[in-house]
Structure 1
Amino acid sequence: MSNIQVLIILLFISLATNQSIAQKNTLTKNEITQLAHNANANMKAGNFEKSLLESRLALKYAIAAKDNNGIASCYNTIAANFDELAEFDKAFYFYKKGLLYANKTNNTILKNWINNNLGNIYCFDKKQYEKGIYYYKKSLGYSREMKDSSQMVFTKLNITWAYFDIGEFQNGLPYLNFINKHHQNYGGESTIVALNMLNGMYYSYKNETKKAVFYFEKAIELGNKGNEKSDLSYTYQEYSKLLFKTGNFKYAYTCLNAYNTITDALNTEEKLKKTNVAGINLQIDEYKRDIDKIATDYKTKQHVLLEEQSRNKKIVIVVISLLLTLFVLFYFFTQNKQLKQKNKIKDIQSKIQQNIINASIDGQELERKKIAAFLHDNISALLSSAGLHLNVFTSSSHTPSEEILKTKYILSEAHLKIRDLSHELMPALLVRFGLLFALDDLCEKNSNSRITFEFHNSIPIKKRYPEKLEMKVYFIISELLNNIIKHSKASKSICRIDEKGAKLHIIITDNGKGFDTKKFHVVEGFGLNQVRARIKNMEGEFSVISKINYGTTVELLIPINDI
């Protein structure tokens, strides 16, 4: 009976035993798991044909059920079958597919085994040790997560072997130390030969020949008693290297001959295994295409479903976006309307406040002028007249009384104070000689031992301006000079005035302590804010530059017109 006939008979047996399952469109997860378990059990028993058929059927239902764990398990079983058949490229392909689905699950045990098996293929078949060690370490991470000490010992043994195989003994040593410490409690008989061989390799690298010989001999003794022929053959090979290095050529050739004998026997077994399943090898490519077709059909359906979901999602997003946009636009429209109304109210309030300030200042200047005129024209005249009468009386009286003389002195002093107050309210120099004379006199009067005011003028000093303009500019500058005296702690200030086109350009600087220009609005009384308001009312420009400890500069630009 040919291998193909055997395969056909096994196929009919499998279909008969699974007829009740195959008639169903879907299986439960428990049924898929049981079918996959049967496939795995047949693989371990060497029934590779039946295992592959069962795992293929389980894979079909797992894909239909969208069971990532089942899909990953089936791919792992398929890969393990090819691994046992020494079809490493195909095993590698299915391990990779299995890992893709396993990573979508919480099955740490499965992820652990697939990563470990990929490490084996990379190291022992592809000889890509760097990638192999990467997958071993991924497997080790899952072993730690599961707190599986036995699996940790097993995986660290693989990592040690990989490092030692490429001569990186120092990188492998920490893993070897761990195995030596924990193997007695968590290791197994299947790894004891490999452990002794690895110790022999390490001490051979360290040139500690006695220890190396001890471990190699022990590995050979245990290997001859057990079934780990592959590990035994590697032991003979590594031991022969040490013996050649130490000059024991006779025993080295003996070990090398033993290595070749065991390796040939293993190769013969592998060939025999492949011969027994030749029928499967003939259909491997077709089998792979069938599995890929199942996965492709599933992916196509998934793609169509995802496209439909994506389209619906986009429609929902567009509708929600439009609603949000309309809501935002409506919100900003109402906010903008409210803001405009608030700004209008603020503008009206600001204008009202400005008018109040201007009216207040204009009223103060008018009252100042009236009071000054009243004091000068009336009170001062009356005091002068009273003093004149007293002078006539005292000149006609040979011995004026002391009370008369005191009264005369008091009247004279009152006359002087009234005159000074009148001049302060409305300086005589400002009225008679104009703004420039008055400012020069103002700087001179305010100068003392603590602060000096300098007046610089590029305009002819006799030039006159409209009376109201001169009065307003004089009192503005007077207030700025008073601010310097009260607050700046300056030792020097300069008032500079010239004409810039049809405007008066005034700069007042001091070397005082300066201040934060953002906070000057808190100054009370006729301060900078009111000066700014007054300049604005005169349609002029006002700016302040000040820095703490570096003084202050106030710049005014006032149109020359009849206010």
Structure 2
Amino acid sequence: MKKIDSVYAASPDSLEFYAAQALKLTEQLKDIPSETKIQALRGVTLFLSGEHDKALKIYINAIRKAEKHPPFKELALLYYETGGLYSKNNDLITSGQYVSKGLKIALAAKNAAAIADGYNRVGVLYEKRKLLDSALHYYQNSLRTNKLAKDTLGMSYSMENIAGIYAQKDQPVRSIPYLKESLRLRKLVNNKFSLAIIHVNLAETYNALNKPDSAIKYANETIKIATEIKFLDIIKHTHNFLADIYEKKGDLKNALRHHQSFSTINDSIYNETKSKQIAELSKKFETEKKEQQIKSLHQQSTIQNLKIRQRTIMLAIAATLIVFISGLSYLIYNRRKLREEARLQSEINKHQEQTARAVLNAEEHERRRIATDLHDGVGQLLSVALMNMNTLFGKLKEGKIELSLADRSVALINESYDEMRTISHQMIPNALLKAGLSAAVREFLSKIDENKIKVTLETSGLDERLDEQTETLIYRIIQEAVNNVIKHAQASKLNIQLVRDEEGILLMVEDNGKGFDKTAVNQKKGIGLKNMLDRVELLKGTAEFDSAPGKGTLLAVNIPA
């Protein structure tokens, strides 16, 4: 199986030879999962070479065989690829049905790589419907899941898809870093299929940035790689792309050459006969499934009629006993249910009391800190100012004018005022009250020394204000998370993403610092971290850490709508 994977990544053209040998072995071993994966890769190879009808035939036959067994994770890949073929032929409804089936299996198997792949494919369907924010949400979920799974190729696909959304939002500058990092990752795994795709995406992005020479360079590299693996679909697309660029440059000779290449390949991939074959195969498969279901129901009905006659006598004998046992069981069940509900309610009350107490303790701690600041800072300054003013009034009564003493008194009062403003801002930032969460977070981050740590902030969906308590709690969560990074992480980069959509709010705080041992932190939480988690719980949210020594840290906070 590993040999098949490596051949597919490096040279899909050689796959059929090795696949035939591997399929004989899987049939002997009755290894259905491995056989399913091999058939999926065979279908992908045919799809890339433009043989969509042959690819669908392989997919349907493999699905028919695999569905006779309990679900397994390799079937998810087969569903994904079948959905991808329908998507390419603009049948988004059927595509969505297959992708949903695959994602359901991946989630049940708790397979992170397959889940991330599913999120990517759902994002593609949203993108095709021009629902860009929903697509971006699923691509970001896919990237986060791939990072957790340490799936290099999967991360590269997620980054490429995110870049595509920014390009469609007329933000090509934001696309380039994602595409360059995706290219770097794909070179590590030497997957020529994905290398061809990333090069054409870089070409299109540089063209959007009005850099035609860079676009032509990446497009030519695309054709070179795609030709090696007979990836006709992307070769066709790239020739059409180059024809447009050369036409805009006034190079009509090259424009005509690439347009002719595009037309030749396009005619070989898409024609009416192939479209009909795909539709007929799909219809035949669905009809066959329905006939099998009808036949199965008929057999079940016959067997059921035979069993009913035997059961009638047994039911008459058992009826009285069942009534007695049911009544007794109900009494026992009801008693246990009441006892369990009382126990659960007690646990809930206890947990709510602990959370409320923790919040009250945090508020009491904050009040004491403010009182100390007022006493030690503002109080001392005002005491000295008052003493100076009393002395000044005494001098005035004697007819003496002490300008220096008056200046010092005014300076002390001004300093007291500044101190009061600082304390007030620490309690509730002025920007949070006036401009909302996004502006307040930006103002807070702007005060961080860029020479020590480079901070980036991305926000989405925060045009409308949240309620005051929610904004304050999220602001404090971000404040605590950033302070923890500055104090403990020894990081040089800090990235914060704050996204709001119909499902709720997602906050991600990621640094490239020294990381930490999650088990040690779970055993011993500091006051700041505990206060932050209490605030997340007040918002009925969840907080997850992903970190290891030397690997940086990712904090993901999900707050439901």
TM, length-normalised to structure 2: 0.40
